Amino acid sequence: MAKKPSGTGKTSLRGRDASTGQFITVKEARDRPKTTTVERVPKPGYGDTGRGKSPKK
């Protein structure tokens, strides 16, 4: 079975400053682990899927 080409996932890693909430580079976030976090963020078009919502009647 062939491997999936890289870059085709539905999320990407992003760094975020914990005090301001602004996005920063992942490298910078990993250099300052006490004040930052690295999280998975959905790519455009792959956001909230509506799971967990009650069905419409």
**Cα 25 from Cα 14, distance rounded (Å):** 7
How do residues 18-56 score in pLDDT, each as one tens digit?
999 999 999 999 999 999 999 999 988 888 766 656 666
Q: What is the model's pLDDT at position 2?
A: 58
Does residue 19 fall inside a structural domain?
yes
Does residue 47 fall inside a structural domain?
no
Q: What is the model's pLDDT at position 9?
A: 86
Domain with 20, as residue range(s), is: 11-42
φ and ψ at 34, to 5 degrees? -75, -30
Q: What is the model's pLDDT at position 3?
A: 59
Does residue 5 fall inside a structural domain?
no
Q: What is the model's pLDDT at position 32?
A: 95
Does residue 1 fall inside a structural domain?
no
Q: What is the model's pLDDT at position 31?
A: 96
**Cα 42 from Cα 30, distance rounded (Å):** 20
How many domains in the chain?
1
Does residue 50 fall inside a structural domain?
no
Q: What is the model's pLDDT at position 37?
A: 96
